[in-house]
């Protein structure tokens, strides 16, 4: 019975406090995509020109 209540509480917490929310102020998923792009640039996977080209495409 105690595990049932714990499950219900966790389920409610999951719906009210999702861990991976994306901000909708700049178009929803584009914020997440720009973050990924920023990380790739920081790791050196893409150069500056590629970073700026892709970022401008995402911000449209």
**Is residue 14 within 8 Å of 7, Cβ to Cβ?**
no
The model's pTM is 0.49
CA angle 40–42–36, rounded 5-degree value: 35
d(CA 26, CA 32): 10
Domain spans in the chain, listed from the N-terminal domain onward: 22-60
pLDDT tens-place string over residues 9-52: 888 887 777 665 545 454 555 568 899 999 999 999 999 999 99
- The pLDDT value recorded for residue 10 is 83
DSSP conformation class of 23 = -
């Amino acid at each position: 019975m105690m595990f049932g209540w714990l499950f219900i509480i966790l389920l409610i917490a999951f719906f009210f406090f999702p861990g991976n929310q994306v901000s909708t102020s700049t178009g929803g998923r584009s914020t997440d995509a720009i973050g990924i792009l920023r990380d790739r640039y920081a790791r050196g996977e893409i150069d500056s020109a590629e970073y700026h080209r892709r970022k401008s495409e995402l911000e449209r």
